Amino acid sequence: MEPGSVAILLGTGMVTRSRDTEYPFRQDSDFWYLTGFDHPNAIAVIRSDDGPPYTLFVEPRDRDLETWTGYRPGVEGAKRDYEADDSYPSTEFGERLPRLISGAKRIYHVLGRDPKVDGAITRTIEELRLRSRQGIEPAEAIVDPRAITHVMRWIKAPVELDIMRRAADISREAHAEGARLAQAGTHEYELEAAIEYAFRRRGARGAAYTTIVGGGANATVLHYVRNDQKLRQEELVLIDAGCELEGYASDVTRTWPVGGRFSGPGRAIYEVVLAAQHAALELCAPGATLPAIHDAAVKVIVEGLVELGVLEGDPAELAAREAHRPYYMHGTSHWLGLDVHDVGAYKQGGEPRPLEEGVVFTVEPGIYVAPDTEGVDQRFHGIGVRIEDDVAITENGHENLTSEIPKDPDEVEAMVAGN
Ligand code: GLY
Ligand code: MN
Ligand code: MN
C-alpha cells in the first residue's frame, strides 16, 4: 500500500443453508491469505501510517455461545495467536471506524460486499470533510485492495506450493479409491462418497468444489453434480474431484472405463483427449500463455475429430472457425489456488499474461458428444472425456502436481481393475 493508507478487510460470516442451519464456515480467500484467521465475522485493519499496523476485530469470547458453536480466539487470542497489535470485538467496529480512518490518505476497501460497512466508511469520510477547518483531511480515495492481493496470490510461494502438492497427493489417493468402484451397477454417489471419504480421512477440509461423477451421457453435462445414476458396463465415467487442504484447491479430472475395459469408441475419444493434453502440457513454461496452450489442445482435438469422422474438412480451417465448439466448449486452463477458479488477471494491457515461475493452473481438455448429436456416428453418442491436471510453472518448465494420478489408458484399466 502507499504510505499513509489504511486497509479495511472483511472476513466472511456464516451462510444459511436452510431455515436456521448453516453451511460449514469457509473463510474469504483473501482474508485467509492475509491473516490465517479461520473464524466468522472478523475484520482486519492494516495500516501503512504510524498507527498500529494490524488490528483484528473478532467475535469476543462468550462462554454460553461457545457451548453451542465452539471455541473462539476472542480479542486475547487474536493478539496472542494471530499476531494482531490490537484487537477489539467486531461489534465495536462501527464506533471505532472514525478514529481508524481519520488521517488516512487512502482507504483500501472492497466496496459492494457489505452495504453497512460501505455506508459507515463513506459517511465517516463525509463527516471528516466537514471538519476540514480543524485541519482534518479526509481520504482522497477508496481503492480496491484486490489490485494488490490478487497480484500476490497469482504467484505461489514455496510454502503454498507445498500445500498444493499435498492436496494433489490426497486427491491422487481419493481417485484411486473411486476408480475401484467404477463397476457396473455401482451408483455414481458411491464413487463420490469414497472419494470424499478419502479427502477427509487424510485431513482435507473436503471437496474444493462439488464433486462431479458422471457415468455415460452424464459425462457430457459439464457441471453434472446429481451423481445419482447407476454405472453401466463399458460406459465411461468422468470424475472431476479435488480436495481443499488448508484453503488450497486441487482440481483433477479422470475418465475411467466402467468395469475396467475401454470400448472401441470410448478409447478412440480418450486417446485424442490425452494427446491434446500432452500437447498442451508440453508448452507449459515461463513466457508461454494460456491461449497458446489452449490452441495446442484444440489443434490435436480437431485433428482427432477429423480422423474419427466427427468433423470433416481441413483441420486448420476447422480450428480457425471453432468447429470443435459443439464437442469442446470450454477453455483449457484456469488459475488455481485458494479458489478453484483462482484470482489473477488473464490479460495485461490487452495481451495474454505470460506465465511466470510460481503460477499454478489447470490443463483440462475434453471432448463431449451429447446423446442427441445429429450427424455424428451413433457409436460416439453419450461419450464424455476430460483429463485435468494441475500445473505449477517452474524456472525452466513446469511441475505437474497431479502426474501421479494414472491417465495412460492401460494404467487406467489396471487401476479400475484394482491392480
Ligand atoms: N472442477 C471445476 C473445473 O474443472 O474447473
Ligand atoms: Mn475440475
Ligand atoms: Mn478445472
Q: Are residues 168 and 302 in the same domain?
A: yes
Q: Report which protein residue has its CA nearest ligand 1's atom 3.
A: 251
Residue 189 CB–ligand 1 contact under 6 Å: no
| Domain boundary, last residue among 100, 125, 151 | 151
Residue 84, amino acid: A
User: Which is the catalytic residue, given 180, 187, 278, 334?
Assistant: 334
Residue 340 CB–ligand 1 contact under 6 Å: yes
The pLDDT of residue 269 is 98
For residue 298, count other CB atoms closer than 10 A to its CB: 24
DSSP, res 258: G
Distances in Å between the alpha carbon of 332 and those of 124, 199, 295? 46, 25, 9
- Active-site residue 251, yes or no? yes
Q: Are residues 219 and 190 in the same domain?
A: yes
Q: Measured between alpha carbons, how far is 235 from 185 in angstroms, rounded to an integer?
A: 11
Q: Are residues 274 and 319 in the same domain?
A: yes
Whether the CB-CB separation of 33 and 65 falls below 8 Å is answered with no
Q: Are residues 69 and 89 in the same domain?
A: yes
- Active-site residue 374, yes or no? no
Residue 209 CB–ligand 1 contact under 6 Å: yes
Q: Are residues 115 and 235 in the same domain?
A: no
Q: Domain count for the chain, please give it.
A: 2
CA-closest candidate to residue 192, choices 162, 169, 217, 218: 218
Whether the CB-CB separation of 301 and 367 falls below 8 Å is answered with yes
Q: Is the dihedral of CA 69, 71, 76, 80 positive or negative?
A: negative
Q: What is the pTM of this model?
A: 0.96
Q: Are residues 173 and 298 in the same domain?
A: yes
Residue 30 CB–ligand 1 contact under 6 Å: no
Distances in Å between the alpha carbon of 350 and those of 54, 290, 331, 353, 354? 36, 14, 18, 9, 12
Residue 176, amino acid: A
Ligand 1 atom with minimal separation from the 253 CA: 4
Ligand 1 atom with minimal separation from the 334 CA: 5
- Active-site residue 223, yes or no? yes
Q: Are residues 167 and 147 in the same domain?
A: no
Whether the CB-CB separation of 191 and 212 falls below 8 Å is answered with no
Q: Are residues 144 and 223 in the same domain?
A: no
Q: Which residues of 196-217 are buried (b: 16+ CB within 10 A; e: fewer)?
A: bebbeebebbebbbebbbbbbb
CATH number at residue 218: 3.90.230.10
Would you give the distance in Å from CA 144 to the centre of its chain?
21
Residue 222 CB–ligand 1 contact under 6 Å: no
Q: Report which protein residue has its CA nearest ligand 1's atom 5.
A: 341
The parts of the chain modelled with pLDDT lower than 50 are none
Q: Measured between alpha carbons, how far is 47 from 402 in angstroms, rounded to an integer?
A: 39
- Active-site residue 202, yes or no? no
SS3 state of residue 197 = helix
Beta bridge partners of 58: 89
User: Which is the catalytic residue, given 160, 246, 303, 388?
Assistant: 388
Pocket test for ligand 1, best of 253, 335, 360, 361 (most atoms within 8 A of CB): 253
The pLDDT of residue 115 is 95
Would you give the distance in Å from CA 105 to the centre of its chain?
34
The pLDDT of residue 136 is 83
Torsion angle defined by CA atoms of residues 146, 148, 154 and 157, in that order, rounded to the nearest 10 degrees:
-130
Beta bridge partners of 347: 352
Q: Are residues 146 and 247 in the same domain?
A: no
Q: Are residues 237 and 260 in the same domain?
A: yes
- Active-site residue 341, yes or no? yes
Q: Are residues 302 and 161 in the same domain?
A: yes
Beta bridge partners of 244: 206, 249
Please give the grid coordinates belonging to residue 367.
Answer: 471432448
User: Which is the catalytic residue, given 364, 389, 390, 413?
Assistant: 364
CATH number at residue 73: 3.40.350.10
Residue 251 CB–ligand 1 contact under 6 Å: yes
Residue 5, amino acid: S
Q: Measured between alpha carbons, how far is 233 from 260 in angstroms, rounded to an integer?
A: 9
The pLDDT of residue 395 is 98
| Domain boundary, last residue among 127, 151, 175 | 151
Distances in Å between the alpha carbon of 228 and those of 184, 193, 329, 371? 14, 12, 25, 18
The pLDDT of residue 65 is 97
Please give the grid coordinates belonging to residue 412.
Answer: 487406467
Q: Are residues 162 and 217 in the same domain?
A: yes
Q: Report which protein residue has its CA nearest ligand 1's atom 4.
A: 251
Domain that holds residue 109: 5-151
